[in-house]
Chains A and B, each alone.
Chain A
Amino acid sequence: MAPPSGPPGVTPSMIRAPPSQLGQTPLPGSPLSNAPPYIAPPPGRPMGAPAPYMANPNPNPNPNPVSQPPQAGPPAAAAQPNPVMGLAASLQNSMIGTPASQSFASRPFPSTAQRPVSVPFSGSLNQNPLGSKGSGPFPGQPASQPYPGPPALASQPVRGPPQLFPGQIVGQPPMGQPPMGQPPMGQPPMGQLHMGQPQMGLGPMGPPSMAAPPMGAPPMGSAAAPFSGSAWQGQQRQGGMLAPVRMAPAGMGQQSMVSTPGAVMGYSPHAGAQVGTPSKIDPNQIPRPVPSSNSSVVYFETRQGSVVSPPPPATSDFIVRDTGNCSPRLMRCTMNQIPCNGEILTQSCMPLALMVQPFALPHPSEEPIQLVDFGEMGPVRCVRCKAYINPFMRFIDQGRRFVCNLCGFCNDTPRDYICNLGPDMRRRDADERPELCRGTVEFVATKEFMVREPMPAVYFFLVDVSMNAVGTGATAAACSAISQAISDIPEGPQTMVGIATFDSTIHFYNLKRSQQQPVMLIVPDVEDVYTPLQTDLIVPLGECREALEQLLESIPSMYQTNKIADSAFGAAIKAGFLALKPTGGKLLVFQSVLPSLGIGSLSSREAEGRTNVSNADKEPHKLLQPADKTLKTMAVEFAEYQVCIDVFLMTQTYVDIASISVVPSTTGGQIYYYYPFSAVSDPAKLYNDLRWNLSRPQGFEAVMRVRCSQGLQVQEYSGNFCKRVPTDIDLPAIDSDKTIMVTFKHDDKFQEGAECGFQCAILYTTVHGQRRIRVMNLSLPCTTVLGNLFRSADLDSQFSCFLKKAANGIPTTPLTQVREQIVNHCINILGSYRKFCASISSSGQLILPEALKLLPLYTLALIKSVGLRNDGRLDDRSYWASHVASISASLAVPLVYPRLISIHDLTSMEEGDSVLPAPVALSSEYLSDEGVFLLENGEDALIYVGGMVNPEILQKLFGSPSLEGVPSQLVLQQFDNDLSKKFNEVINEIRRQRCSYLRLRLCKKGEPSGMCFHSYMVEDKAPGSLSYVEFLVHVHRQIQIQTKSN
């Protein structure tokens, strides 16, 4: 997750062109790497003024530039005395240092290199060995033994020492080791350390890890897996070593147990008041995400032969080696073993879904996706189900035939493609052919995949110039952002741009003319729009750059005195669409007010809802549905012609996002929301958002289909796309940030031991106008053992699934019901585990499956989130819902359970620590009145300033000893002091991680802004909602009721 370096790495061009070429030809992605994608707003430069942004000698870009990478590894390694290390180190070098440097060196982006910082810690992967060896107390890690059917009891004691205690939570393995540690390794069988080693040997891992902090040192698993459940700080410190007080007698391999006070203390579950005894639970002992130290990278091999390892947490830092299954960044399943039949799945209550993020940014150190050209013949496919050739197709009959792993059909191998089989029954050339050994490949699309010539990259900008837009500075901000962003678009002959502005009419501009001035062509009919020209509205960027820049400069002044308050948004996008219709392309709309005129105009339903209280009260969620079908119908037509619409809402009023969001969500676009728009602080974000929007890896006119093995079938796709036929989804545009959720249901049974294959194929056009098919394969083992399902459950994916389902429900279901459903879902899963996998343990204990032990916390956070809170504005809620619809698994959790870090003590961090300090739990208890804290969820960043902060700190951070007069919509500046520098580094690091330029807001204690901040303290008790401890009690009680009733 390294935005800066990421994009370039992923650019398709990379795939094609050898690095050397890359260096020469400027590719769309490459400039990015030169300049950081997220650039701090220049201090004191409120808006406009494009240049400074770029010129700004940014602090964040690459604190440790090119030079660093190679060294980075070694030093760390060197620090370690262990001889084994030496070997490891060298190994590591060879793997990371060398190859990386080779491949990177020639690449134009230095920033990639920066990633390696973490490399040294990659060793920590090996915590496994460490864990096993060093952590004497828990010697064998038997638990990890290849998940044997019934969780080995034996293992239980060893590894999952569920500790019970009143008021204390049992974390699992006190040792940092197991649960998570394991996944990162990619070696499922824990015990096989040794095995692991050698295996790892291939990779860099091995030894260096030894270097990892001695012993039970905190990081352990955590290092690898930030959110791993196994070791959380508190526990380590306190009870880390504290022996399993009571072994849960039963228990699956991995589970967390929380005993609720009520239960343990013998409270009867009926009394709500008794919840009031949370003090009995040590809040420090309840499951919390392990702070990611960010300092270590996990290496992950997607398969080892027939063994499939669960991937590292989505939010962690890891490097994938594609050894048959695709990277978990691209496709991630809610469970890493597939239930053999529907009953088991139903029993588990867990969702079976894939999070597909086809253009996810790779780690810079990962191998690029390989491009395969089958020439005229086109990619080899199964004749029956049309699945693409993949590593799981089984060749038989001396290679003359192959069996499809999805439908089981036996195909004749095309003559040109025949190759003999080796003794292992694999084709002899399997390792040379990416399509036979890699989970992800790209095929060059042949003519038969094209209905027309691949489209060029076309960007059409639509800017609101109505009175409000101009007045609030939104127009100027948009123009300046476009102007700067455009200067970053490389001038491929294929890149075309166009622009129009609108108020009550739509104004096109003919940029083609040789004359000095562009011509403004006004389309006044906003009920029934049309384009004023057949050609010349969209012009190759190279031909009009100057004219466009000039125009963008003059638009704000041209409309300075505009008195037209109306805004014909619907008509404008329709007009933009008509201009794009012949080619398709991206339509970027900058809108500031409620669309009030013309086709698809909207009314201020919010106000109506307020005046007509009885109605609003009855069905408030109706206001979260689109006002009517007009925009949807339009959007479907847009999608049909491959037009994708992104909407930038820079507003200070209600704009009915519920209705507007239909357009981007149907066309593969997204909404950007700047509320309340500030001409001071928002232009920087707008620019960065736009820039990322244009430069991130992306594809056009895409069609995607997910196929799966017989036994399962796709139930539903969800995300931002248009669906016209049942099997495929149409994506006028798809980019690295978008995720599509695909749910499955059983239509047959699998044999135990069989594997279930998933194949996602996405046919798209690159920004360079090449037609490609990206094929991602995932093959997972099937199981009949419920315990395996829980053990292999993927928290991030499951939570994403929760989140998306909740978002889907918002417009159609009353809020209370949505929340209830979510809580019930959580209870059902945990209840199922309790009932079927941990039934032996006392009912007084809350036993959580290890993999899902944070589910209650996240669920609690979810029902307290912006989208599901009662007090949210309609637009905020709608925006939240639309944002969530395409959110990736790695950003889903942070959105709901933000990261909180303290700022005031940044300078006290030791050198060599990672940029980011360890996060703090989202509880007011951790906030001190003397402190300054930063909370970020990937979208917003709130800076909380306590009531008694040392003025010196304020002076350092904000340039003023008091916050009087510092606006809450903050423009971050860097002052010449350590704290400020550090703070800026932190912010920039977060921006990079989240691929998002955060909206900074200053929250002062005792003011409304402070209240807002507190609403994110999800562990706190708030009026009408439970605290975390109370929630756990509630969950436990419900499970008890369930169990009893059965």
Chain B
Amino acid sequence: MATDPSALGAPDPDGLDAIRLTWNALPRSKLEASKCVIPLAACISPLRSNPNVVSLPYPPLRCKQPCLAILNPFSQVDFNAKIWICPICYSRNHFPPHYQSISEERIPGELYSACTTVEYSPYESNPAAMPVPPPPVFLFVIDTCVIEEELEFVKSAMRQAIGLIPDNALVGLITFGTQVHLHELGFADLTKIFVFRGTKEITKEQILDQLGLSGRNMGPMGPRGPHPQVNGFNHPSGAVNRFLLPASECEYTLNTLLDDLQTDQWPVEAGNRSIRCTGVALSVAAGLLGACMPGTGARIIALLGGPCTEGPGMIVSKDLSEPVRSHKDLAKDAAPHFQKAVKFYDALAKQLVSQGHVLDLFASALDQVGIAEMKVVVERTGGLVVLSESFGHAVFKDSFKRIFDVGENALGLSFNGTLEVNCSKDLKIQGVIGPCTSLEKKGVLCAESVVGEGNTTAWKLCGLDRSTSLTVFFDVSPSERSSQPAHANPHAYVQFVTSYQNPEGQLKIRITTICRNWVESSVTEELVQGFDQETAAVVLARYISLKMEMEEEFDATRWIDRSLIRLCSRFGDYRKDDPASFNLHSNFSLFPQFMFNLRRSQFVQVFNNSPDETAFFRMILNRETVTNSVAMIQPSLIAYSFSAPPTPVLLDVAAIAADRILLLDAYFSVVIFHGLTVAQWRNMGYHNQPEHQAFAQLLQAPQEEAQIIIKGRFPVPRLVVCDQHGSQARFLLAKLNPSATYTTAHEVAPGSDIIFTDDVSFQVFSEHLQRLAVQS
């Protein structure tokens, strides 16, 4: 998504290709690669908008089977023979007839050397062949087991959304509590609701049967027979119109329904949670979409107000005496419903992926709602997830609105994406971390070891947007022949092919081809030059998160420490056993700090958070750009004072001063922290006095900055405005390096602050690192 404010003015670190590798120079051998400690990985943002990307109105040209790589600037072209050589597999391909007119003077866009990234619009040159773009589908799934007040918030958010939805978009509504209510919007006579029970798992076929959509019960009304496939998607037939209506037609009905919508009417026994059948509700939604619109871009937008307490997907029993599972329970395997729920949602994810549909979660509750279990669905389908405390909270309200925004700030929600990766055969693909699902397209390019969604060279991205980011892990695995210098090709190529339907429903194919150099094992310098420490930190964070989820007993902190030590030993400049001599190249200099903060971050220190929060944080971490992800690991801190223009300051408790305002951007939250004096002045109302204009401006500046941050970010971060020594100040203090704690209180500069913690400070951490790195 959009641009990170901190990067404003600076050149886009992601560049035209929006691809960042941990190592931009590749170690030649497996051994060398393992010595590099940080895995070779690429963070890609396939839909990142960039005005410089060339759009080509014809379909791409592919290499022959099995390579299928696409013609790109790195191909060698023989203009006379009309032949091109694929840089990845070295195959020679004849240009097809319509390329016959190319010459050195007349070369197509995809061969321009600057056009490492191009976008094809295959139908643009031949609009007649293009299918009518299917309308987007929004199926709202609303939890009614909430208090009246929350429901009112939901209603007002929904009303607003209905006003924003494009007229042609199809809209459906499901409400649920103890039971699932599917509203038949196309029924004019009275409010008609299909009711499904919350206790029973229900298959897609059953749903179709019961809704009369399967053709079995249709009688003469509509023998649907085999779905009429029109270029991969179904035209909404008559039956569909019962449940999914163009927004323009059902606006009135929807508004009436919302007006009449009540909280769940089933009684809640004392000492019990509401009975809430989120699992079945989502099943029904998925089933309905499957029946109506397989293959089109449809999103299930679920608004959840609490945990699923009944039926499939249940995460906690309705008995209040049973608490919702914590990390501790999960670690001890003491969460009785967890595995079952995950299994259910896993199946749901498979169904949605096969249909190409997306699940978005908007969870607004003080307690957990089960995001940890539902994570699999959201992540596999590329859905959005927003976590807030209340439907009345700005985090929900603004985020929800953003989905329907158009123009500058639009999320650019696209559908039905697939990602294919082609690469030189000395590279193998281990897998992908991010919002996607393996398409299980196995091949020679698949590495033996798997990271994330692996064992494939193609992935499905049901939903993706401008900020969607994926991390592709590579394994260096040179063949015997290629490792011999004589045959060595100095370049490695990787091509990313992303096809998708843009928000308007048009098919697009974006191709990015990158070329990097192999580095002979001995030349450390080149490796160092090619190191991207930000990307490395982010990749490591994602990798660790995954390992923490997948591997029991995985000690993340220890793993980070050892990796860091090994990295420093390998690339540091020092004399053996002399910590004082330790020095790091500037390309590495920030890395220890990143690791220090990663160790302390919500991604590693999960016990401060609920499993839902952790799942939420990790999902966002996995799908965000490198720049944004870095902010999650190591927040940025800007100081505002009279004495100087806004300046980035160290993320350290020492940055606190009585006459300063600090702006912390920790990605999920944005904190404006007023120093003691500033707060006092403000409380006395100086900023309202004309003679203290400057003070008013000082107060205003961080606010404006915060708004810019908030505006460009999804999910909308939580804005915390606090004063020194106030209770909300913890949002800042928790992120700061505890260079001053209660043990060092006497050394603290006046006006600054201390942090009550036993955590080590970065200084101590560095000392230890240096000592261990230089150990022989």
Contacts and interface: CB of A to CB of B under 8 A. Distances in A.
A175 to B, nearest CB: 71
Contact of B189 (A524, A534, A554): A554
Contact of A535 (B194, B210, B265): B265
B220 A563 contact: yes
A518 B190 CA distance: 7
B269 to A, nearest CB: 12
A296 to B, nearest CB: 58
B191 A532 contact: no
Contact of B192 (A520, A536, A554): A520
B464 to A, nearest CB: 34
B195 A532 contact: yes
Given A519-B190, A520-B190, A536-B265, A530 B217 contact: no
Given A518-B190, A524-B211, A535-B265, A504 B197 contact: no
Nearest to A504: B217
Contacts of A515: 260
Contacts of A520: 187, 190-193
A257 interface: no
Interface string A540-563: 000000000000001001100001
Interface string B178-203: 11010010010111111111001010
B191 A519 contact: yes
Nearest to B188: A558
Nearest to A506: B195
A525 B210 contact: yes
Interface string B260-281: 1000011100000000000000
Contacts of B195: 508, 521-524, 530, 532
A536 B220 CA distance: 35
Nearest to B202: A525
A565 B260 contact: no
Contacts of B189: 554, 557-558
Given A515-B260, A528-B200, A564 B219 contact: yes
B212 interface: yes
Nearest to A551: B190
Contacts of A759: none
Nearest to B190: A517
A775 B154 CA distance: 61
B219 A524 contact: no
A513 interface: yes
B194 A524 contact: yes
A533 B181 CA distance: 11
A562 to B, nearest CB: 9
B221 interface: yes
A597 B216 CA distance: 12
B181, B190, B260: which has the most chain A beta carbons within 10 Å?
Answer: B190
B265 A534 contact: yes
Nearest to A466: B219
A521 B193 contact: yes
B728 interface: no
A565 B193 CA distance: 21
B197 A564 contact: no
Contacts of A563: 218-221
A533 B265 CA distance: 7
Contacts of B219: 467, 563-565
B112 to A, nearest CB: 58
Nearest to B219: A563
Contacts of A528: 197, 200
B193 A504 contact: no
A530 B195 CA distance: 9
A534 B211 CA distance: 22
Interface in A493-541: 504-505, 508, 513, 515, 517-526, 528, 530, 532-536
B103 interface: no
A517 B187 CA distance: 13
Contacts of A526: 210
B168 interface: no
Contact of A525 (B190, B193, B196): B196
A525 B193 CA distance: 13
A566 interface: yes
Contacts of A554: 189-190
B179 A532 contact: yes
Contacts of A508: 195
B206 interface: yes
Nearest to B209: A524
A199 to B, nearest CB: 64
B192 A534 contact: no
Interface string A156-190: 00000000000000000000000000000000000
Nearest to A558: B189
Nearest to B222: A563
A508, A515, A554: which has the most chain B beta carbons within 10 Å?
Answer: A515
Contacts of B265: 533-536
A99 B209 CA distance: 67
A547 to B, nearest CB: 11
A536 B219 CA distance: 33
Given A519-B191, A525-B197, A534 B267 contact: yes
Nearest to A563: B221
Contacts of A523: 195
A322 B189 CA distance: 58
Contacts of B206: 525
Contacts of A533: 265-266
A942 B191 CA distance: 46
A524 B217 CA distance: 12
B204 to A, nearest CB: 14
A561 to B, nearest CB: 9
Nearest to A509: B190
Nearest to B259: A515
A532 B218 CA distance: 23
Contacts of A518: 190-191
B142 to A, nearest CB: 16
A504 B212 CA distance: 9
Nearest to B184: A522
Nearest to A557: B189
Nearest to B218: A563
Contacts of A467: 219
B23 to A, nearest CB: 57
Nearest to A534: B266
A505 B221 contact: no
B285 to A, nearest CB: 15
A564 B191 contact: no
A566 B190 contact: no
A62 B629 CA distance: 91
Contacts of B187: 520
B542 to A, nearest CB: 43
Question: Top 8 A-B pairs ranked by shortest CB distance?
Answer: A524-B210, A532-B195, A563-B221, A519-B191, A517-B190, A522-B194, A520-B192, A530-B197
Given A524-B196, A530-B179, A533-B265, 6 more contacts: A504-B212, A505-B210, A517-B191, A525-B206, A554-B189, A563-B220
Interface of B: 178-179, 181, 184, 187, 189-197, 200, 202, 206, 209-212, 217-221, 260, 265-267
7 contacts: A515-B260, A519-B260, A520-B191, A521-B181, A522-B194, A524-B209, A535-B267
